[in-house]
Structure 1
């Protein structure tokens, strides 16, 4: 069978699926065409767990403003280093042999790099010079806001200072020689700001105690509010233009105007103009690219349905040319300054664990692959072994159009395959079109994977986020997920007798709901860090958890706007009445819970209390706890344990392939950390004392 022809058929099917104007018959035909194409492909070889667990070798990659160098952080086992590659050709050279940096930025003049590690900011010259090193975090809550666009080589920092029993916030400029300049001290938490060419703050966005607002800043430092934002509205200040207008991204405005995130220009007369938004009218802006010289927008990307990048203004033809070279791919762009400067193109897809990087010459349209030598890109799983992710949209029982994705295992008759529903966390979050290691792991084992961007998810506009109207218990949100599963089953995708549900955080909560209230549909569940009572969990998160001491305390107001305010007795009572904790007696399906003992997003005591309740009721349960783990596992062995335990559970109850046997370190981890071992894990648990 001709693989390229099959892939072409799958892409055509995706196009049919994703057109908002497609009639239902076209959608059904497109999905069936995709199913047929996937079924005719060769069966994917089974990948080891490590192939989908390994972190990216390239941690961060950045093109210099002049387009002459690419700086990148490279990971080798436990060592990370900073490298510099000339775009005109030649070998890369090491700038820093060992660093803990997770992010990097170029200075405006392209002579310095700023490296951000968890607790420090380090400045490094491209000629090997060392700049200052400044601690981040701490009692001053020091954070990097952005690179200073008005100076050759400086960053803007936000710092907290105590003022009696209260606090104030400073915006400080720090250059590569260590010179500090106080730009503003404010009683409010400033989340973004814009500077003019002289380095003066001309606009800032800050939290006002119950809402965000954008202010113009006068020469005397006084503020004039120009935009007042509602809950779930946010703006980011991109640039100050020569005429005094501001370039923004966000979703300010009332009614339909304030629905989707888009690229905006706020004129000197404070009138808003939309420069670009999703042409399909379905997705929020995900990323915008600026020309380093003019500060004008060059491209905008949208990724909550079909990944698409569009050129803006004079760059339309150039971006369209790049897109033609990479059909069906998700493109990330970085732009050099001037018509002769090269662009960096990041080629991404659901079937690419690691992006492929190319240099594009806008003068002649040439492309050159970079950073693909052995040791950087050769460990990524082959695309043929991974499942294509198809964007879908289905109509809920109340008539609302709900979005999502489905992954179809290559070479598998999906009508006979087990189906796993994967629910994202948040719920203020969403699945994107790109690579998802957990979903690909399950698809590689022969499971159809359904990812629902149920109403309440982000990425599809503010109206979509507020559509649940607070119904996050066994109500409208859960119904969207259930109806999506049944929509797929009705189209011959998945075996109705072998359906499971998995998720982390809010996704874990949904898994508990599914087993509790829809046991006819879901036969087994895996819940990572699950709140068992969403009302209690939200209250704890705001008061005592990771959100309790954040300077931006807008979460409480966001929850109120979403009708999730657990400080309201009626809301708390409603969420509790529909919670898995209050309905534990109804839960009879086999369940695996995975949690972190030091989780500050979902309290371990809540997880432990729910588990003890189920155990007392004699329900089938396995509980795996990483003793000092946070909200999600980070280290290699706990991450592998997560996948192994999930695979073991699903295989036992849905009939997938038997897991590869754990190695010695994984066996020891399971033996030490299985707090409760159901029948699926008795061989790995420590003997009772």
Structure 2
């Protein structure tokens, strides 16, 4: 077995070494063919801005364990309600008329629903009975960990144990509690360390857990006397989620533990009773981390795995391969999400998504006869969704950076547009511990609808493509290798005849906003205009503030600091701070002469508003062109409809003035009033 694994690893390495040239040629050919096909389509009509604000009418939908009902959260006017739809042609009925819940979870016995809201967990019976309500957050730091599948109707909570007035984190203890539908609490474990996740046996006893050890995460098995035995020690950016404990002593998990090739991609795993790891499924393309796994609610066997960092694909596992393949065949070229009922005759819930499908579509699949029936499609739910033909095709691409690394990304090509003469927008994702996926992106589709080609780079340092890809940044997040990936991707597209080199812009939010400032500062010959949402002007300062004072400054597991340190982004390290500070847009503010729009929230606890306003003040002092839109009381990104529409309107106004395109749709009375009150600095574009 060892020889076979070594041989497989060598073959994979050879494929990686030989692949770039072949893949590069294939990427160019696919891109040109797609551009030709899109150019031949009718020009899409210009859609209203509000069409690109993703629909929140249907908030969540969950299939019952038996596959006999779908519970869903639906917004109507100013309220959100919980509904129940029988899967056998019954009519839906309302269970709860008003709730703030964002997630629905079924109890194992299918008789109770757990509704999780930002600040409370409410339990409701499917017969309309009211269960208990428990607050979340607060001084107890109470959080929902997962459902307790060892019990008919219970949930697992994590909470802080009071440790005395004025005591600091080292004296704090953390408790794992089982709470049933009637509010009965059972303490399962109390620990000095923050516990991420636990696994229970069929009797409801804790048999394994993952916890933070001060400098790393680790997986432990529990002995019968509750003592711990370390099984796996994880490195930064390695993670484990415990799915189930089996009767044979094995653990079903997802994650990316291990060294070298084995510890790269996130996958479906089994840890046997002798602590040997077995990969049950990983991306057959060798490109993407696992995004989602489907588990049989009765047997706890893995049924399907989904990957979405490049081409969205879902595969069956074991005996479910034929069923999953049959479902996937009904949705060629689409991204499907699955939920399975228990047993061979139970319905499956299917969610259909695509880059040009703003709102998911929902179906029930009957494995007995292959019938597929669309549900949750009444006009109140599907209203105002843009026609797919009016939205842009999103193509997965890859290009070879100047140092030989293959870089991943996406390009959105507007229908009916000659891409060679269209303005090109580089859209940069936030994080940077994040990545673009194959699905719908409202901002990108809005820009494409206005005639822009949109390029989304999953530059090195992005997640979703394996741990090695994330760490290949080597901490070079200033005006260095990471930014160079974005710049080289834009130049690669221009060399393929995609985009007008005289009309190139850059936009992004959070880290994407930081990249926008870098692009305008250090590559003004390429980027003619930029839009930055909540941008840190000095990444070293911003990362230090985030872990000391910002939203994540009081995380009890302190894992963010460890991650930033591993990625060479720890602003608390003097050398890291000095390097990022020297390359920051703030220090190099005199070089920034391109038109810029900055948007931010006054109560942002991820990027300090004073970091944003300080940078804007420096630009104004130097007489540089800048506009500033601030959402009063807003967080890191706008949530409410008017601030979100203002974001799109301001972006479109600036880009249209400097890159061309149709004039913006006039602002309505509410939007005009919002802009008058909150556009703190208005450049000539406004």
> For this structure pair, what is the TM-score category when the shorter chain's length is used for normalisation?
over 0.9
Secondary structure of the residue aligned to 1:348 is strand
1:247-646 alignment runs, 5 A limit: 247-646=252-651
Aligned counterparts of 2:55 and 2:224: Cα–Cα separation in 1 = 48
Listed one character per residue, the Cα deviations across residues 253-301 of structure 1 (whole Å, up to 9, x for unaligned) are 0011000000000001111000000001000000000011110100000
Distance in 2, matches of 1:666 and 1:20, equals 48
**Secondary structure of the equivalent of 2:104?**
strand
Distance 1:149 1:225 in 2: 24
SS at match of 1:592: strand
Name the CA distance, whole Å, in 2 between partners of 1:280 and 1:525. 35
What do residues 97-150 of structure 1 show as CA deviations (whole Å, max 9, x unaligned)? 111111110000001000011111110111111110111111101100001110
Contact 1:353 1:381 in 2 (8 A): yes
- Is 1:99 matched with 2:104? no
8 Å CA contact 1:249–1:262 kept in 2: the answer is yes
Please tell me whether the aligned partners of residues 20 and 280 of structure 1 are also in contact (alpha carbons under 8 angstroms). no
**For 1:485, what is the secondary structure of its paired residue?**
helix
Kept in 2, the 8 Å contact 1:343–1:360? The answer is yes
> Partner of 1:375: helix, strand, or coil?
helix
In the alignment, what sits opposite 1:16? none
Tell me if structure 2 keeps the 8 A contact 1:372–1:378.
no
1:21 is displaced (CA, Å) by 8.5
The match for 1:188 among 187, 193, 197 is 193
Unmatched tracts of structure 2, length 5 or more: 1-18
Alignment of 1:85 with 2:85, yes or no, is: yes
Corresponding residue for 2:217? 212
> How far apart, in 2, do the equivalents of 1:645 and 1:327 lie?
37
Secondary structure at the counterpart of residue 575 of structure 2: helix
Equivalent runs, 1:146-157 vs 2, <5 Å = 146-157=146-157
Match of 2:654 among 630, 633, 649: 649
Secondary structure of residue in 1 paired with 2:635: coil
Comparing 400-409 and 546-555, the one that deviates more:
546-555
Instruction: Work out the CA distance in 1 between the residues paired with 2:22 and 2:589.
Output: 43
What SS is found at the alignment partner of 1:257?
A: helix
Report the count of equivalent residues: 663
TM-superposed CA distance for 1:623, in Å, is 0.6
Aligned pairs for 1:121-136 (under 5 A) are 121-136=121-136
For the residue of structure 2 that corresponds to 1:667, the secondary structure is helix
TM-score (norm 2): 0.96
Distance (Å, rounded) in 2 between the aligned partners of 1:429 and 1:152: 36
Q: Give the CA RMSD over aligned residues.
A: 1.0
CA distance in 2, matches of 1:616, 1:584: 10
In the aligned structure 1, how far is the partner of 2:247 from the partner of 2:561?
Answer: 38
* C-alpha contact (below 8 Å) 2:337/2:351 kept by paired residues: yes
C-alpha distance after superposition, 1:470-491 (max 9, x if no partner): 1000000000000000000000
Q: CA deviation at 1:499?
A: 0.3
Q: CA deviation at 1:669?
A: 0.8
In the aligned structure 2, how far is the partner of 1:191 from the partner of 1:398?
A: 38
The residue aligned with 2:40 is 40
- Structure 1 CA distance for aligned equivalents of residues 446 and 458 of structure 2: 20
Assess if the C-alpha contact under 8 Å between 1:592 and 1:646 holds in 2: yes
Q: Helix, strand or coil for the counterpart of 2:357?
A: coil
Offset at residue 55 of structure 1 (A)? 2.8
Give the equivalent residue in structure 2 for 1:160.
160
Cα deviation digits, residues 138-191 of structure 1 (max 9, x gap): 110110000111000010000101224121111011111110111111111111
Shift of 1:674: 1.3
Q: Is the 8 A contact 1:263 1:285 kept in 2?
A: yes
Where does the alignment leave 5 or more consecutive residues of structure 1 unmatched?
Answer: 1-18, 682-689
Please state how far the C-alpha of 1:432 moved relative to its aligned partner.
0.2
Q: Once the 2 structures are TM-superposed, how far is the Cα of residue 20 of structure 1 from its aligned partner?
A: 7.7
Measured after TM superposition, the shift of residue 379 of structure 1 is 2.2
Structure 1 residue 56 displacement after superposition: 2.5
3-state SS, counterpart of residue 379 of structure 2: coil
